[in-house]
Structure 1
Amino acid sequence: MLSVQSKEKIRIALYVQKAALHFIDAASLAADKRQIPEEVRQAGFSIDPDDLASIVRSHDLKRLESHGGLEELARKLSVSLEKGVCPSEISNRQRIYGLNKFVEKPSRPFFMFVWDTLQDLTLIILMVCAVISVGVGIATKGWPKGMYDGLGIILCIFLVVLVTAISDYKQSLQFRDLNKEKRNIQVHVTRNRNRQKVSIYDLVVGDIVHLSIGDQVPADGLFISGYSLSIDESSLSGESGTVNIENRRPFLLSGTKVQEGSGKMLVTSVGMRTEWGRLMFTLSEGGNDETPLQVKLNGVATIIGKIGLAFAVLTFLVLTARFLETKHGGITKWTMDDALSLLNFFAIAVTILVVAVPEGLPLAVTLSLAFAMKKLMKGRALVRHLSACETMGSVSSICTDKTGTLTTNHMEVTQIWICGEAKTVESNRLGNALKSSIPEKVMKALVLGIFLNTNSELVKGQDGKTEILGSPTETALLEFALLFQMDLDAEKQECKTIKVDPFNSVKKNMSVLVALRGGGLRAFVKGASEIILGMCDKIVGKDGESVSLSDEQRKNIANVIDGFACKALRTLCLAFKDIENISDESIPDNNYTLIAVVGIKDPVRPGVKEAVQTCIAAGITVRMVTGDNINTAKAIAKECGILTDDGIAIEGPDFRNKSTQEMKEIIPKLQVMARSLPSDKHKLVTMLRKELKEVVAVTGDGTNDAPALHEADIGLAMGIAGTEVAKESADVVIMDDNFKTIVNVAKWGRSVYINIQKFLQFQLTVNVVALITNFVSACVSGSAPLTAVQLLWVNMIMDTFGALALATEPPHDGLMKRPPVGRNAHFITRVMWRNIIGQSLYQLATLGILSFEGKRLLKLNGADSTSTLNTLIFNTFVFCQVFNEISSRDMEKINVFQGMFSSSLFMIIMVSTVAFQVVIVEFLGTFADTVPLSLELWGVSILIGADRTSHKTMSSMPRKR
């Protein structure tokens, strides 16, 4: 979505452009006569790419006429408006007129992420300290021994920067791929006489593109033909309102949306030559906005950082004061070693601040969201907005469509009522008995009513077989009509289409007005059964003649419709009206003759019932909101497990006529809303969110679903049946239109939320222990047991490795057996506080005993006893965090080892952490101020670290009575 600033830039750019074009008409006409580049002529075209593009961009009708109009322009592009582009010409057209891709801002190189990481103030201070430490160290201790302390800090900083930069760089590449997939839409084109779907990236100049309601105009072009085509250009101009496209205003611009009607366009420019491409090139693309969870955690990080700063300052002051006391008030002579000690105190204070500032929190959120987005993409869900992942975990209500989401969206006609009788169509085969029972006149009206009044199209595939491109409902009707084996081309040539009134969700019907060969006009209409029946005053009788429709017959037909609906069939009525004289060529809305009622079967998707039950177990209420007949909706809802014995099913008109208080009373039990308008869905969502304080997810596929998708906490657009307008308004696009995928999104949303809670619990524990340990030790003994290098290594474990391990844990089925998180629930729960306090007290007590009684308890003697004890404290502290990380995998489960070994990434991080710790203690003592430990002391470190985790696990095991 474009920001307000971007829209303002576009509006100003368009204004300037239009003002300039006002003065260059003469120059433009002269430019038309300039010589065509030789490369273009040799390729078989006779119009320059830039000239062609500027005609549409400038909306210059005079220049279009100077080229001979649409037909002559198509000839100059060597394309037939009926046949379209030949596939063999595509590469040639791409070479001359360009690809339908925009020049993207190049990816930020890796060194830029390194540079960004190095901008952290605390890291800069540490680097300065390290450099000074190296200089002072060499001056006092000589080369190379004097540089070890400073070099150790530099190496740790290098590791922190490298790992953080690699992580950020990989995330940027992931989001770039997701954005590219988000923009990759499918468009209908005619090529070599065949209508087919192609990627928007494969579109070329000369293509004939088919447009219908909700589509995005994929390139700049000229209107060829269509009916009531209206375009929303607000994405370009920033101004609301629609533009009617006709022969006197045939210009279509890339990036705009089809608001009403349908039509065909000739592509005249693609990619960077389009209006959208030129404007986007002047706008810098903004980064991803922070999600609500990131904003909340940034606040937590700020508070923790301030506490850490206070502890760092206090630690430095205490260490300095104790040191000055040992110097007897400064009487003792000062040396360079003393300066190095003070510098070391400052480095420890800064490092405490580094550990205290939980920069891993935003990293963990981004990692978790990126990981979830990548997995959901593989699971057929495209997340368009980062915040959708975390919000989906809090959803308490899902308002879902029926067709295509709960059902397969593969429809077929199984029942038909015609000539006063209900007939069964088995396996989509018409027997001779059925054909012979329908008079030829009625059969002809039925078939023409289907083929003339449709947005779908019959095309021949590459294998020669007939294929139908269009909505599932119309595809089912066309497949049914094809079974009558009439000469459709001959019949259609006898009729000339005069006007088309496309389907929309308000009137729930579509109609067409045609001129008959024998004279006169005929209108065909089809749509929702109750609505079409209300428009009819006659029916086709058994002999094929129109007879008046009596009240008794109307009641009988209503019973037939209800009977079909109770069998979970979607019902449609078809009717016609002959018109002798008509002045304004408008399509009538009454006095029709009913031809037939058809029942269309759309089976429930496999696994939907189980998915609905999963939602119910997770505390998520599923409500069906559909435009279908209430009996059909109730039958499907019962089959899916949505409608229960104590649930309410209501029709849209009844719902919208209720007062706000009445709505609040029935909505908690409302499970099905049938015959609903988009405004009804929007009202339901608004009531759920604002009055009942629920977190609502809504599915939608039509243009008119956009308000409800936008109003909901999470908008879920259908990737197959959904229009581009619906997808643009949604947070998540369900690529397979399957309700099971929606449940999977909810599961991953909960996983993101829980994973961040795990990491926050782990990090707060480390913060508390590290701050208090160093501060207390400084106050009591005048030294810090954890050096700057050691603390930086702990910071690596805590931030980067901890985020990778805990924030990327995949979801488990247990997540969908808990109630959803409330809208205003505290992020740090009581269970988290219990775990943080319990783990912190255990670690502080253990490390305190080791600090003050370690030598006596472990019988450490000799000159290196202090170094050994400090190394043991460091080693124990690290293993406490390793097992704390394992404990944090599940905050409520007691047996935290369950499922751990099946998580490969978690195990890799755990093994890597332990391996690095062994290397640091045993081989990098010069840099890390450690000494090698005996096997017994290694065992002590591991046992102390594992004690609380193992105790937690053992206490969960059943005891014998």
Structure 2
Amino acid sequence: MYDGLGIIFCIFLVVTVTAISDCKQSLQFKDLDKEKKNIIVQVTRDGSRHKVSIHDLVVGDTVHLSIGDQVPADGIFISGHSLSIDESSLSGESEPVNVDEKKPFLLSGTKVQDGSGKMLVTSVGMRTEWGRLMVTLSEGGEDETPLQVKLNGVATIIGKIGLAFSVLTFLVLTTRFLVVKALHNEITKWSISDALNLLNFFAIAVTILVVAVPEGLPLAVTLSLAFAMKKLMNDKALVRHLSACETMGSASCICTDKTGTLTTNHMVVTKVWICGEATVIKSNDSGNILKSSISEKVLSMLLQSIFQNTNSEVVKGKDGKANILGTPTEAALLEFGLVFGGDRNSQYWKESKIVKVEPFNSVKKKMSVLVALPDGALRAFCKGASEIILNMCDKIVNKEGESVPLSGEHRKSVTDVINGFACEALRTLCLAFKDIEGSSNVDSIPDDNYTLIAVVGIKDPVRPGVKEAVQTCLAAGIIVRMVTGDNINTAKAIAKECGILTDDGVAIEGPDFRDKSPQEMKEIIPKLQVMARSLPLDKHKLVTQLRSDFKEVVAVTGDGTNDAPALHEADIGLAMGIAGTEVAKENADVIIMDDNFTTILNVAKWGRAVYINIQKFVQFQLTVNVVALMINFVSACFLGSTPLTTVQLLWVNMIMDTLGALALATEPPSDRLMKRPPIGRNVNFITKVMWRNIIGQSIYQMAVLAVLEFDGKRLLKLNGSDANSILDTFIFNTFVFCQVFNEINSRDMEKINVFRGMFSSWVFMIVMVSTISFQVIIVEFLGTFAGTVPLSWKLWLGSVLIGAVSLLVSLVLKCIPVELSKHTATVKHCDGYEPLPNGPDLA
């Protein structure tokens, strides 16, 4: 009866724990999903501009849209320039739709592909077209991760072995029973007690099957991944797909952006070349020096080119301070303009009217604007990549503010200035203008015959901790490659500062990379560390080559709409939470909320921790299963009964394993994880080190329990009618304490010191104390239910000491070298990690 009640209670307990765990995980995913969908939009409300959450958007708000943004609600176009919308997510049409006064409707969930504009919100939430569509759809569930596929394979094999032992045990017990009845000539006489005996044999067989199946595995995987996701959320990384946690642990290459990821993404103008002279800008005093060294006409032209040709705005906050809303580069230029006393709201700017705008995009690498001046004349302003703007210029502004021809010598000196700025890790921009005669031709902005005003050097400082993070990546066997749209000299300077570019590394420009033959690419990619002036398609091509030809596990960072193909192609797509567009975030596996490279390193570290933690749990679980299976099978075959009852086995296998999963699967990552290479794609999950530990501990525990089972009464000097009950309880108690100490052993599969960090892991300590407390209660107070009797303090001490010997057994086992098979002879580490190259191999 108690066995049946025990089984029902255990099933109820495990189902309840699993249900609560799944419920909490589901609620956590809802929170993560809400965070994922919490898009920040810029709106004009009550006459001033604000940043608000998409959830706080109301009808009547004016929303500002730019390239890469997701349209947050249904609305009507008010004003804008070259606004092109990708409606493929709603209509399935791949061709973008041009939105203007004639076709003014914008739909929620669509993406801004080009241009900029303002829209009036007409409906929000579930009342939008997108919302109506969402009502009829439900988001799909998570796919099984590669690790879960491996574990399912392990569980299936173990289950089959358990089933075979279970059937064999039932046959052996039944055969013994029938032979005994035949010897006593009772084969034809059957009673209720005989039926109960056969039912008991069946219960033993079922128990062995239950013991063999590792019920704790799914819970361990879920706990480990969910725990990692929660911790990463605290570390500013939003994991959108569960599999990304573990895949990042296998990453062997990170292709990273420069701006905002390696650097702070707060740009400042630090150097200006104007009228043939370069000036370093360090403070307002430097601005005043520059102001006094150039004529009023030149200064006016410079300020016009800054304040007229921009998508950014200067707004006053509630504290009265000027805040700049816009991209970092434009914000740096506007800050620079404000130093000179420039003001976009002055009378001059109000009287000037913007006729046409060509927003910046990654192909043209420039932004142009056509302005109608107060006197009726037209003037085009252009800014962008230095080489491109310089090629568009045939004149230059002199000290008097006059346009003079740009000679070949002049052009060479400007090129030298641009290269000089770039070598100092400055992003260089050229500012230029062109006066247009006649006001009829306003359909397009010209692309030639401009007058060069100035070369501006903008510095984006390297983030604190990036250099150390890059060094950690290299030590962990992860190659960091910088892929940026910046000038080659700027990219190389930043890469050297971060420790990415080494003496034997290759830095190449996107157009050169594009033109390489497949054979040349195979030769250059292993050495490639920096790609400058690259298009998003160059990044996509690099990722594809690394994955297909070099079998690398590639992580890619991206922030732009055009990065989506590379993010989608990569094994792990990492989108920037601050600078990233909604399109990039939708195609990413992980969103880096603070745009920091150090956070990417944390994702890799937690990915490795997930894999190792589940390996630790599997080692612990398999030892329990092997010992329980063998001791019950051998006892059943030789003695006709088992020392461990159904309730005892269920306690060990279900409750202890569930607690074990909680303890081992939530171990935080150690810095040692980042001093070994990535986990190979095709490495066996159960490594030779794990087999050594499992087999060694199993042999010790089976030997001890077998000796106690067959000769325990004599060794322990047990007499009297309750000797059998005391011996069985002592065997059960010893078995449990062997598992308690083996759980401590499993904290580290290779290192001898398994106590490092144990007392600081409160989850592990709570599990240890809970397990021992429950064991005391079961043995001393739940005897009728669990089939135990109270033990003397000497027997308790004996159980603990025999269990503690597992620590010494583990120490001896870890000193035994693991012989490598031929196909893994290159692996230096016994746990399935590939070796780091050294010496000549490093090249």
TM category (shorter chain) comes to over 0.9
Matched, 1:388 2:244: yes
Residue 203 of structure 1 corresponds to 57
* Aligned residue runs from structure 1 range 72-471, under 5 A: 147-328=1-182, 330-331=186-187, 333-471=189-327
For residues 648-671 of structure 1, what are the alpha-carbon distances to aligned partners after superposition, in whole Å with 9 as ceiling and x for unaligned?
111111111111111111111211
CA offset at residue 816 of structure 1?
A: 0.5
Q: 1:545 aligns with which of 381, 402, 413?
A: 402
CA offset at residue 264 of structure 1?
A: 0.9
Q: 1:840 aligns with which of 665, 688, 698?
A: 698
Residue 788 of structure 2 corresponds to 930
CA offset at residue 290 of structure 1?
A: 1.6
CA offset at residue 259 of structure 1?
A: 1.2
For residues 899-946 of structure 1, what are the alpha-carbon distances to aligned partners after superposition, in whole Å with 9 as ceiling and x for unaligned?
111110011011101111111111111111111112222122212222
Equivalent pair of 1:843/1:880 in contact (CA under 8 Å): yes
Equivalent pair of 2:780/2:791 in contact (CA under 8 Å): yes
Residue 600 of structure 1 corresponds to 458
* Aligned residue runs from structure 1 range 773-792, under 5 A: 773-792=631-650
For residues 429-464 of structure 1, what are the alpha-carbon distances to aligned partners after superposition, in whole Å with 9 as ceiling and x for unaligned?
444431122222222222121122212111111112
Equivalent pair of 1:188/1:197 in contact (CA under 8 Å): yes
TM-score normalised per structure 2: 0.94
**Of 497-506 and 440-449, the range deviating more from structure 2:** 440-449
For 1:324 and 1:243, the matched residues in 2 are separated by 83
TM-score normalised per structure 1: 0.82
For 1:585 and 1:438, the matched residues in 2 are separated by 35
For residues 689-737 of structure 1, what are the alpha-carbon distances to aligned partners after superposition, in whole Å with 9 as ceiling and x for unaligned?
1111111111111111111111111111111111111111111111111
For 2:150 and 2:640, the matched residues in 1 are separated by 38
CA offset at residue 154 of structure 1?
A: 2.5
For 1:789 and 1:672, the matched residues in 2 are separated by 62
Residue 432 of structure 2 corresponds to 575
Residue 820 of structure 2 corresponds to none
The letter for the 2-side match of 1:241 is E
**Of 881-890 and 357-366, the range deviating more from structure 2:** 357-366
Alignment length, in residue pairs? 811
Residue 577 of structure 2 corresponds to 719
CA offset at residue 285 of structure 1?
A: 2.9
Matched, 1:770 2:770: no
**Of 906-915 and 862-871, the range deviating more from structure 2:** 862-871
The letter for the 2-side match of 1:719 is G
CA offset at residue 323 of structure 1?
A: 2.5
The letter for the 2-side match of 1:461 is G
Residue 859 of structure 1 corresponds to 717
Q: Per the alignment, do residues 487 and 811 of structure 1 end up closer, same or farther by CA in structure 2, a change over 3 Å counting?
A: closer
**Of 794-803 and 690-699, the range deviating more from structure 2:** 794-803
CA offset at residue 325 of structure 1?
A: 3.0
For 1:429 and 1:864, the matched residues in 2 are separated by 96
Equivalent pair of 1:763/1:798 in contact (CA under 8 Å): no
Matched, 1:562 2:416: no
Equivalent pair of 1:766/1:798 in contact (CA under 8 Å): no
Equivalent pair of 1:395/1:697 in contact (CA under 8 Å): yes
For 1:429 and 1:764, the matched residues in 2 are separated by 72
CA offset at residue 330 of structure 1?
A: 4.7
For residues 591-641 of structure 1, what are the alpha-carbon distances to aligned partners after superposition, in whole Å with 9 as ceiling and x for unaligned?
111111000111111111111111111111111111111111111111111
For 1:952 and 1:792, the matched residues in 2 are separated by 26
Matched, 1:697 2:555: yes
For 1:709 and 1:955, the matched residues in 2 are separated by 44
For 2:214 and 2:81, the matched residues in 1 are separated by 60
SS at 2:448's partner residue?
coil
The letter for the 1-side match of 2:793 is L
The letter for the 2-side match of 1:562 is N
* Aligned residue runs from structure 1 range 867-882, under 5 A: 867-882=725-740
For 1:638 and 1:561, the matched residues in 2 are separated by 19
For 1:828 and 1:584, the matched residues in 2 are separated by 70
For 1:604 and 1:427, the matched residues in 2 are separated by 20
The letter for the 2-side match of 1:729 is N
Q: Per the alignment, do residues 742 and 316 of structure 1 end up closer, same or farther by CA in structure 2, a change over 3 Å counting?
A: same
CA offset at residue 488 of structure 1?
A: 3.1
Residue 950 of structure 1 corresponds to 808
Equivalent pair of 2:42/2:50 in contact (CA under 8 Å): yes
Equivalent pair of 1:194/1:461 in contact (CA under 8 Å): no
SS at 1:228's partner residue?
strand
For 2:629 and 2:642, the matched residues in 1 are separated by 11
SS at 1:901's partner residue?
coil
Residue 374 of structure 2 corresponds to 517
For 2:230 and 2:500, the matched residues in 1 are separated by 30
The letter for the 2-side match of 1:273 is R
Matched, 1:495 2:352: yes
Equivalent pair of 2:85/2:110 in contact (CA under 8 Å): yes
For 1:496 and 1:949, the matched residues in 2 are separated by 81
Residue 621 of structure 1 corresponds to 479
The letter for the 1-side match of 2:446 is P
The letter for the 1-side match of 2:540 is H
The letter for the 2-side match of 1:926 is T
Matched, 1:508 2:362: no
For residues 210-269 of structure 1, what are the alpha-carbon distances to aligned partners after superposition, in whole Å with 9 as ceiling and x for unaligned?
111111111111111111111112222334232211122211111111111111111111
Q: Per the alignment, do residues 335 and 406 of structure 1 end up closer, same or farther by CA in structure 2, a change over 3 Å counting?
A: same
For residues 136-180 of structure 1, what are the alpha-carbon distances to aligned partners after superposition, in whole Å with 9 as ceiling and x for unaligned?
xxxxxxxxxxx4343233223332222222222222221221111
Q: 1:918 aligns with which of 764, 776, 797?
A: 776
For 1:925 and 1:797, the matched residues in 2 are separated by 18
The letter for the 1-side match of 2:784 is T
For 1:583 and 1:447, the matched residues in 2 are separated by 25
Residue 835 of structure 2 corresponds to none
SS at 1:794's partner residue?
helix
CA offset at residue 326 of structure 1?
A: 3.2
Equivalent pair of 1:223/1:250 in contact (CA under 8 Å): yes
For 1:319 and 1:450, the matched residues in 2 are separated by 91
SS at 1:488's partner residue?
coil
CA offset at residue 372 of structure 1?
A: 0.4
For 2:238 and 2:427, the matched residues in 1 are separated by 30
For residues 50-109 of structure 1, what are the alpha-carbon distances to aligned partners after superposition, in whole Å with 9 as ceiling and x for unaligned?
xxxxxxxxxxxxxxxxxxxxxxxxxxxxxxxxxxxxxxxxxxxxxxxxxxxxxxxxxxxx
For residues 356-406 of structure 1, what are the alpha-carbon distances to aligned partners after superposition, in whole Å with 9 as ceiling and x for unaligned?
222322221111110000000000111111111000001111111111111
SS at 1:939's partner residue?
helix
Identity of aligned residues (%): 79
The letter for the 2-side match of 1:885 is E
For 1:419 and 1:477, the matched residues in 2 are separated by 18
Q: Per the alignment, do residues 653 and 330 of structure 1 end up closer, same or farther by CA in structure 2, a change over 3 Å counting?
A: farther
Identify unmatched segments of 5+ residues in structure 2: 816-843
For 1:337 and 1:530, the matched residues in 2 are separated by 97
For 1:286 and 1:274, the matched residues in 2 are separated by 22
CA offset at residue 413 of structure 1?
A: 0.6
